[in-house]
Amino acid sequence: MYKNRIKSMLDIIAKKELDGAIITSRDNTMYFSSFSGTDSIIIFTREKAYFATDFRYIETASSLSSYGYEVVLIEEGLKSITTLLSKLFVEKNIRIGYENTVSYGYFDSLKKGLNECVYADITEDLLTIRSIKDKTEISLMAKAASIADMAFSHILKFVKIGVTEIEIAAELEYVMKKNGASFPAFDTIAISGKKTSMPHGVPDSKKLMNHDAVTLDFGANYKGYCSDMTRTFFMGTPSFELERIYKIVFKAQKEAQDYIKENVTGFNADKVARDIIESEGYGKFFGHSTGHGVGLLIHEEPRLSVKSKAVLKCNMAVTVEPGIYIPDLGGVRIENTVIVEKGGCYPLNHSVKELIVI
């Protein structure tokens, strides 16, 4: 598997007529090596891959030679890396691929090991490779999603009037960790009442009150892979308008999810949800995109949005998460993460989407 991933990088190098590439981001070093420690760097030449890390990780990293890596010990920090670079790339005016997420300071230091290079941004190429998940990735993501499902069913029993948003967020994260999550996939959103009109509101000491909507947007990171789900439920009967909004969001989420399959566009998947919400008169209250890719990072390619140029392919993982948010009233969002297949898609999350009243 990792040999295939290394091969896909060497293919990018060949296709873009590069002499090599430098990979420094944690998500990409993980993708190409399974190595999750910090402070490591992968250097690709046209033929070979070098994995460099320091003393703390060298024992773990030594196993990477079975994937075809030459493992290099960094003894003197950056100096060791620049020395390695200057050995690997001797000539002038060679072309090196880099990620645009690398910090300017770090990149500037790396340049000292290279001779007047031409730099090519390969960030997009890497995102494209990573947008299609292999079997191992899908099973890790399914596990991350099932951890979130477990936490959600626990929370439905845990919540009661008077519990604070922070207590709910902490409980969610605790239960996810107890069930195998390394950490939350992103800052847990647990908001209630009128605050649910803020798509990314921050949990605070607000207590749950009767008739409150409660929106939970959260996920687990399991062995590097993220899950992402959102549910809105109600503490006692919702107001007439919020119940109506729930039904519209439910329909938009369901129809967009039912629409998704291989070769549909990210634009049209977004349009299915957006048209339903607009036709009910709530278009201007749905101010974000319908979905995004998920994987090693919580936001990856492809996007399901009005600006998307993406065409969905088998084994892409995307969220489907329409919402309606009305200032001073509240909001509803329902989100599943799905895997695209030839004739449809299937959700990784299995928590009920129907309206829940506690």
Segment near Mn ion (CB under 5 A); pick from 74-82, 158-166, 201-209, 314-322: 314-322
CB-based burial, 328-351: b 16+ in 10 Å, e otherwise: ebbbbbbbbbbbbeeeebebbbeb
- Residue 335 CB, shortest distance to Mn ion, in Å, is 6
Residue 163 or residue 338: which is nearer to Mn ion going by CB? 338
* Total residues interacting with Mn ion, rule: CB under 5 A: 2
Contact characters 97-116, Mn ion, x per CB under 5 A:
--------------------
Least distance CB 298 / Mn ion (angstroms): 7
**Distance from C-alpha of 333 to C-alpha of 268, rounded to nearest angstrom:** 19
**Residue 321 to residue 304: CA distance in whole angstroms:** 10
Whether the CB-CB separation of 302 and 131 falls below 8 Å is answered with yes
Whole-angstrom distance, CA of residue 164 vs CA of residue 149: 21
Among 33, 188, 319, 351, binds Mn ion (CB under 5 A): 319
Applying CB under 5 A, the span of 49-57, 197-205, 244-252, 317-325 interacting with Mn ion comes to 317-325
Measured CA to CA in angstroms, residue 80 lies from 29, 43, 76, 152, 180 at distances of 18, 13, 5, 47, 37
- Shortest CB 287 distance to Mn ion, Å: 14
- Which residues on neighbouring strands pair with residue 135, listed in sequence order? none
Integer Cα distance of 95 and 14 in angstroms: 11
**What is the closest distance, in whole angstroms, from the C-beta atom of residue 228 to Mn ion in the complex?**
4
Output helix, strand, coil percentages for the chain, rounded to the nearest 5. Answer: 40, 25, 35
CA dist 248 → 108, 159, 214, 281, 327 (Å): 51, 25, 17, 10, 17
Residue 201 in tokens: 């509101």
CB of 280 to Mn ion, least distance (A): 22
Query: Which residue lies nearer to Mn ion by CB, 95 or 350?
Result: 350
215 binds Mn ion, rule: CB under 5 A: no
72/42 Cα distance (integer angstroms): 10
| Minimum distance of Mn ion from residue 208's CB (angstroms) | 23
Choices 87-95, 150-158, 206-214, 316-324; region in contact with Mn ion by CB under 5 A = 316-324
Minimum CB–partner distance for residue 336 and Mn ion (Å): 10
Q: Among residues 232 and 319, whose Cβ is nearest to Mn ion?
A: 319
Nearer to Mn ion, 185 or 214 (CB): 185
Write the binding mask 218 to 237 for Mn ion: x where contact by CB under 5 A, - elsewhere.
----------x---------
Q: Which residues bind Mn ion (CB under 5 A)?
A: 228, 319
